[in-house]
Amino acid sequence: MPPAMAAPRKSSSPPPRRLFGTDGVRGVANVHPMTAEMALQLGRALAFVMRAGPHRHRVVIGKDTRLSGYMLETAIASGICSMGVDVMLTGPLPTPGLAFITQSMRADAGVVISASHNPYQDNGIKFFSRDGFKLPDETELAIERLVLDGAADAGARAFRALRPTATRIGKAKRVDDAIGRYVVFLKSLFPRDLTLDGLTVVVDCGHGAAYHVAPAVFEELGARVVTLNASPDGKNINRRCGAVHPEGMARAIRRAGAQLGLALDGDADRVILADERGQIVDGDAIMALVGRALLGRGALAKRTLVATVMSNLGLERALRPLGGRVVRTAVGDRYVVEAMRAHGYNFGGEQSGHLVFLDHVTTGDGVAAALNVLAVMIREGRPLSELATCFDPVPQVLLNVPVREKRSLAELPGVLRAVAAVERRLGKEGRVLVRASGTEATLRVLVEGPDRARIRADAASIAEEIRRALG
């Protein structure tokens, strides 16, 4: 990483948003807000807020394999060029690859056009700063205000008035070697004293952005690679494959006699693994086994792993015997990264498979995560099925309760009483979490405890109180 990085954001509840969610702007392509008109305006606003100093500014744009990526890429590039900023187009590239290219080419910002694990009809836009990290909340909100408010302050007037002409208009060009640069970078993360020779790895690309990158990395490190779902046609991304549907990858492991399988989502920032028996290993189990390995080598900064409130209590129990601890954040890999940067931690992630190795990458990276697991397997000479036994999940029940409106729990005394009753009964043997979805009119109720039948009843009782108040 470069010696100078932007200061980490303060970890706090973000203010209300109308465009940006926890991971950029997302929706059905060609329906507000994911229209060409909005993409053009977002490009203009991004270019405006990141202009500083007299040098010629540059923004890198990457995308996944969705059909609508062509439309949005052209629109956002036009908006950026209209503000006198140059554009570099990488074509299909994983989100972490775009973050790496933005940083390594010293661009002023990066743009990823992807809806991650969503179906092909959806798309999204997320922004990265010059250091490869996602834009701070306050910068996203500044972009949002410029696009939506039409405010009369001096900044908004300057934004609307900025119309470079003649040679000051930006230009766009292709970065033809972006994939090669990123492959070389990923290979450099694998320890030089180790090799994948003799191993078979199943790689399910999900017809997504990593369809060139992921197979190449494992092949060039010596593995025999069985590649699945690497023929994108614009419409088949995530369709019954990849991290959303890893069962096909698991079956292929058994057929090929592979030692590991990995299934990536559409933009390859998260991964689901399966062991040599074809058994799925989720993000919590991966964090547990890698965290223990880092603790054993004295390489886990401050002996602390960062996870979200959704991760299982079994994670703490896996690390505690080795003197490790878990710090929890709000849901979203950006909040995991916030906490890591703010407090000097170097490893964390989400149950869903977003795993961040901050010594090397700036965001979740599915291929980097798989390489780290392979390194642990080789160093310890143990299969993944055996390594994963260090994680013993506490029984967990998660209910999604549709509501007519999202309100603070402080305004729902009946729900608070129901939660408190369950917490008293569980004591230190479990926990309760009630949180609003960031994208839907839904409250999520999570209960963990030793007795699955009992926690199912506990979760149902809390859900019923929510329905009485907000259903």
Looking at the annotation, which residues are catalytic?
116
Residue located via tokens 């609508």: 68
User: Rounded to whole angstroms, how far apart are CA atoms 65 and 111?
Assistant: 15
Contact 91, 241 (CB under 8 A): no
Contact 285, 311 (CB under 8 A): no
Helix (H, G, I), strand (E, B) or coil at 145: helix
Strand 304-308's sheet: what is its strand order?
325-329, 304-308, 347-349, 355-357
- CA neighbor of 396 nearest in space, from 349, 450, 315, 319: 450
Three-class HEC string of 324-337: CEEEEECCCHHHHH
Amino acid 108 reads D
Amino acid 20 reads F
- CA neighbor of 448 nearest in space, from 274, 313, 287: 313
If you ran DSSP here, which 8-state letter would residue 105 be given?
T
Whether the link from the prior residue into 395 is cis, omega within 30° of 0, is no
- CA neighbor of 111 nearest in space, from 78, 138, 134: 134
- CA neighbor of 42 nearest in space, from 136, 113, 118: 113
Angle, nearest 10°, between helix axes 178-189 and 213-220?
40
User: Rounded to whole angstroms, how far apart are CA atoms 172 and 89?
Assistant: 7
Q: How far is CA 448 from CA 163, 316, 350, 402, 458, in A?
A: 56, 13, 17, 21, 10
Count how many Cα atoms sit within 13 Å of the Cα of residue 326 in the half-sphere of its side chain. Answer: 25
